[in-house]
Amino acid sequence: MARTIERDELEPLATGAWILGTGGGGSPYLSYLNMRQAYADGTRVTLMDPASLDDDDLVAVVSNMGAPLVGQERLSDPDFATKPVRMMEDYLGRRFRAVMSVEIGGGNAFQPLLVAARTGLPVVDADAMGRAFPEAQMTSFAIAELPMFPLTLADIRDNEVIVARAASWKWMERISRKACTEVGSIAATCKAPRTGAEVKRHGILYTTSQAIALGREVRRARRMHEDPVAATIAAASGKLLFRGKIVDVRRRTTEGFLRGDATLEGLDDDRGARFEVAFQNEFSIGRRDGGVVVTTPDLICLLDSVSGEAIGTESLRYGQRASIIALPAPPILRTEKGLENVGPRAFGHDVDYVSVFGEMAA
């Protein structure tokens, strides 16, 4: 089963993916512009139901890796996105059946579309995070302990890197991050290829459709002058945690990551309360009046209270009026093994996972 992604779904995908980025992942705007260009030139991209993959089909898992700020100067480009996919095919001596994103949150939601625009491959309606995370071992494929190699990485110049083997997911992250930094802190990658069976079993399914539906609903609410924050919550089965304004932002970088926290003071029903949200590229933990009320992998999103537009951790500013909402994490991330990779301790917080969505069967 497959269908064409329509032109009027591109903008909703950008809006939805930016919300699912939970403060990180980089803005999808420039990648969206690329797709708008491609569609204006007559290109169309096919969205494929993961259920229709054959078990031994080979799927390319792509991402744009690097510093979001560099991406604002060295802009995303379909040819560049496609390069590592071709490298991987040459290396393996096999052709891909389809392409998928490693993370639906942020700009990488569009990476497989950019590749599809050049190659004609269908985009699998799935990813490996269901949101955005800062590191390669924070994927459903890593949680399932699938092999993490080989990996191909391409630069805009004639530099191509193949990581043939790595001892662990963390090693793969360290080695590829080093190569990425060397070529200007931005690189297109094709991660370890997955079989159709692996995608169906360990991928996080239907997230492209989910992002489009979410974005469509938010945009509809905005157009109708309804509350876009409420619309987001309704469309993604989320919960409102706090409404307030940002009164303090503290940032620091350690080991290449943007870490910090923001404090909000309550408005409306939350008047008199304070909420503190910590981040490492993405929002990872939320405290209300000092007590932990939500942690990763629950999706913690900060939305502009008026427009419903997601606010990235790099653009938090004093005085912004923001709503903090939580969206449920994919079940695989909430398993014991999942929490080892993406729970609060994986981000250096010495607390247990706290969800606003209650207990669930693992």
Partner 1 sequence: MKRIGIDVGGTNTDAVLIDGARVHHAVKTTTTEDVLGGIRTALRLLLDGAGDAADGVDAIVIGTTHFTNAVVERRALQRVGALRIGLPASASLPPFVDWPDDLAALVRGVVRMVRGGHEYDGRPIVALDHAAIRDAARGMADAGITAVGVTSVFSPLTAECEQEAARILREEIPGVDVTLSSELGRIGLLERENVTLLNACLQELARTTTDAFTEALRQSGIDAPLYLTQNDGTIMRAELARRFPVYCFASGPTNSMRGAAFLSRLEDGVVVDVGGTTTDVGYLKAGFPREANAAVEIGGVRTLFRMPDLLSIGLGGGTEIALDGSRIGPASVGFRLLQKGLAFGGDTLTATDIAVAAGRLDLGDRARVAHLSPAFVGATLRRMGDMIAEAVDRMKVDAGDVALLAVGGGSFLIPDRVEGCSEVIRVTHHAVANAVGAAISQASGEVDQIFSGLSREAALAQAHAEAERRAVAAGARRESLKLVELEDIPLSYLPGDARRVRVRMGGDIG
Yes or no: say if 64 and 142 are a contact pair by the CB < 8 Å rule. no
Q: What is d(CA 343, CA 337) in angstroms, rounded to the nearest whole number?
A: 9
Binding piece for partner 1, criterion CB under 8 A, among 13-21, 50-58, 71-79, 95-103: 71-79
Residues 289-308 that bind partner 1 (CB under 8 A): 304, 307
Question: Using CA of residue 191, residue 196, residue 202, residue 204, what is the dihedral sign?
Answer: positive
> Which of 124, 302 has the CB closer to partner 1?
302
137 binds partner 1 (CB under 8 A): no
Characterize the bridge pairing of strands 58-66 and 98-101.
parallel
245 binds partner 1 (CB under 8 A): yes
Does residue 29 sit in helix, strand or coil?
A: helix
Does residue 330 sit in helix, strand or coil?
A: coil
The crossing angle, in degrees rounded to 10, of helices 207-223 and 228-235 is: 150
CA end-to-end span of the chain: 29
Q: What is d(CA 245, CA 228) in angstroms, rounded to the nearest whole number?
A: 17
Q: In whole angstroms, how close is the CB of 133 to partner 1 at the nearest point?
A: 13
The DSSP line for 175-187 is: HHHHHHHHTTSEE
Q: What is d(CA 25, CA 248) in angstroms, rounded to the nearest whole number?
A: 23
Q: What is d(CA 69, CA 355) in angstroms, rounded to the nearest whole number?
A: 31
> Which of 82, 210 has the CB closer to partner 1?
82
Binding piece for partner 1, criterion CB under 8 A, among 65-73, 95-103, 159-167, 325-333: 65-73
223 binds partner 1 (CB under 8 A): no
x/- letters, 141..180, toward partner 1 (CB under 8 A): ---------------xx-------------------x--x
> Which of 30, 213 has the CB closer to partner 1?
30
73 binds partner 1 (CB under 8 A): yes
Binding piece for partner 1, criterion CB under 8 A, among 120-128, 190-198, 319-327, 344-352: 319-327
Binding piece for partner 1, criterion CB under 8 A, among 123-131, 249-257, 289-297, 325-333: 249-257
- Quick one: residue 143, left, alpha or beta (phi over 0 = left, psi -120 to 50 = alpha)? alpha
x/- letters, 12..31, toward partner 1 (CB under 8 A): ------------------x-
Question: What is the rounded (10 degree) CA torsion for 189, 192, 196, 199?
Answer: -80
> Which of 16, 25 has the CB closer to partner 1?
25
320 binds partner 1 (CB under 8 A): yes
Residues forming the site for partner 1 (CB under 8 A): 30, 33-34, 37, 66-70, 72-79, 134, 156-157, 177, 180-181, 184-185, 245, 247, 251-253, 256-258, 265, 267, 281, 304, 307, 309, 311, 314-315, 317-321
